[in-house]
Structure 1
């Protein structure tokens, strides 16, 4: 996996807000489920980051679909959240969302030695 935000600047600004909940497993599972649903429809969100995740109780809901594109479409004209995407990524691919999910997991401070399993 390529780290999409090596400087983590924006991440530090909102880290404390997102860490109020101690158990992040439901949040990650909800994000994963939403990503899987989009990919099953042939879509890639392309802007998975904490500001595009809302909580309904302990359930995560993905929002803000203006960057969503069909798999394989160009991302040249797509606006994405600063510091939460790889600038070298120019095509909508499922891996974009999977890398973002891994970044969120690391951002939440979950042990990097225990990677979150994304099962298709």
Structure 2
């Protein structure tokens, strides 16, 4: 399973491209990756018959999609779209730790 973000939905104005703002935007992708890893973890634990698997996967996908949207909004809200340095640092640490727990970050 691959994680991706639609390029046209992810951008930074040329004048605002600094390491700090690019980190903030990278963390949006990392949030998507984190939710994907949570999704994969949940479905790997399921033991369903073939008859129920497709519906269950679709349901889990929708729950994960909602989780991702809520987390993105929370991230931007708490960090002030990256303008709150302390909150950004907390989110950086949180995201990194959670990704490390899934073995996908150093």
TM-score by length of 2: 0.26
Higher strand share: 1
Higher helix share: 2
